[in-house]
Amino acid sequence: MQNEILEHYLTFNRRRFLSKLSLGIGSAALGSLLIPDLFSKDTAGAGADFPPGIPHFAPKAKRVIYLFQNGAPSQLESFDYKPKLREMNGQDLPESVRGGQRLTGFTATQASLPMVGSFVDFKQYGQSRAWISDLFPHTAKVVDDICIIRSMHTEAINHDPAITFFQTGAQQGNRPSMGAWLSYGLGSENKNLPAFTVLISRGKGNSQGVYSKLWSNGFLDSIHQGVQFSKGENPVLYLNDPEGMDKADRRRMLDKLSSLNEMAHEELGDPEITSKIRQYEMAYRMQTAVPETLDLSKESDDIIKLYGPECMIPGTFAANCLLARKLSENGVRFVQLYHQGWDQHADLPRDISWQAKDVDQASAALVTDLKQRGMLDETLVIWGGEFGRTNFSQGALTKDNYGRDHHPRCFSIWMAGGGVKPGIVYGETDEFGYNVIKDPVHVHDFQATVMNQLGLDHEKLVYKHLGRRFRLTDVSGKVIRDILS
């Protein structure tokens, strides 16, 4: 009997062989159509657990535009209305509310912590009847298109670790940023543009630094690093050919350089060599793609009016929002904007008014623009900073002036498009605006949710480095299902 079974499995005639082979060839062909680089020798880095470019499940969003408000805008003057603070203006923060929570060095030695109500009024808007301050009238008009999360919280209490935590999932440096992870996990939609780009603008207020570690590739291949676009005549540094070199010369130079790098790679086996080859080729293709993509001259008068006149001034937040739409429209996977100037330890009424005016119209315009182009459903837009501000005044509280210190315990962000439920408010803080009392959202929960909308399981998108499997959300994070459609 055993001999008969063995003979059966060893019998493999020509017809059976070709039948099995055809299935394999068909599967390979389908895979190459769905993922053009599937069989490329440099598709995945040495630490890849699966071939990048393959979502774990059907995505709701194809791309992300992240409007990061660097310096931490006050939730109490924007999206979290607290009339109780006005009633108790000037009274000391009850110890029962603070609960012994730590303070920064700015206010740790203050003799008192006088609570301060917002100088600006709030009104309810949209079907959700969400409270939004008068500083954000344009955002109020799109309230039915956004999801406001009022229950964000973080572990970091100072800017550098807090910003780094949001962008990389860790408070220390040398970790891949969110954009780098998405580039690694999904690749680019346009081979002539990078998958991950960075735009920076600056307001009038106190500006916290923005630094390249926030868009670093960390231990991933360098092809996944964010490419910063500047407001100057050359938006990407060192992209143009040197004087005296034409495009044909450049092509010949790259071909020779590629041959030398291929020889070095065969000898050394360093995957970073192939990454450099790909970067040189990307730069060559970007020479044509970048000027065309960043050209605003063909934008209609209606679009310019929508974003505001500042959208035609390079380097402004409005201009960067418009560029973000154009980059997304042309296949850039992750567009990261940083707008500096939100660190209002003093003179908050004046400074936050400046900042809100800088960003309100353009942020709302971006949502409207994407929606009318049919892109919002597949584009996840995010607005928010690294933590919140205290419900008490830093320093002297006067009738017309006050400041607010850092507050990691609760703050607000908003999200729009990309499969997020529109027109809802999620989470709740106490009547003093000091602690989350309903539906808390940690930074890792936020990151897990963003990745989920792009078809990625945050627990499966990992990279082996130094003997450990790393991921954006470290060892925690859960998807916030209640805000997803």
Question: Per residue in 309-346, pLDDT tens?
Answer: 999 999 999 999 999 999 999 999 999 999 999 999 99
Which residue bears the tokens 């490329």? Answer: 40
The share of the chain scoring above pLDDT 90, in percent, equals 69
Question: Per residue in 280-308, pLDDT tens?
Answer: 555 556 566 667 777 888 899 999 999 99
Judge whether residue 444 has pLDDT over 90.
yes
Question: Per residue in 170-186, pLDDT tens?
Answer: 998 889 999 999 999 99
Question: DSSP H helical segments within 187-316, as ranges?
Answer: 247-268, 271-294, 301-307
Residues in Cβ contact with 22 at an 8 Å cutoff, skipping those fewer than 6 apart:
none
DSSP string, 212-255: GGGG--TTS-GGGSPEEE-SSSSSSTT-SPPTT--HHHHHHHHH
319: exposed, middle or buried (Cβ count in 10 Å: 0-12, 13-18, 19+): buried
Inter-residue contact 317 to 49 (CB < 8 Å): no
Which residue bears the tokens 């709030």? Answer: 122
Question: Per residue in 198-208, pLDDT tens?
Answer: 999 999 877 77
CA distance 162 to 157: 7
Judge whether residue 40 has pLDDT over 50.
no
Inter-residue contact 71 to 341 (CB < 8 Å): yes
- Three-class SS of residue 123? strand
Mean pLDDT on 68-94: 97
The share of the chain scoring above pLDDT 70, in percent, equals 78
Cα 74 versus chain centre, distance? 20
- Specify the pTM: 0.85
Query: What's the DSSP call for residue 114?
Result: B
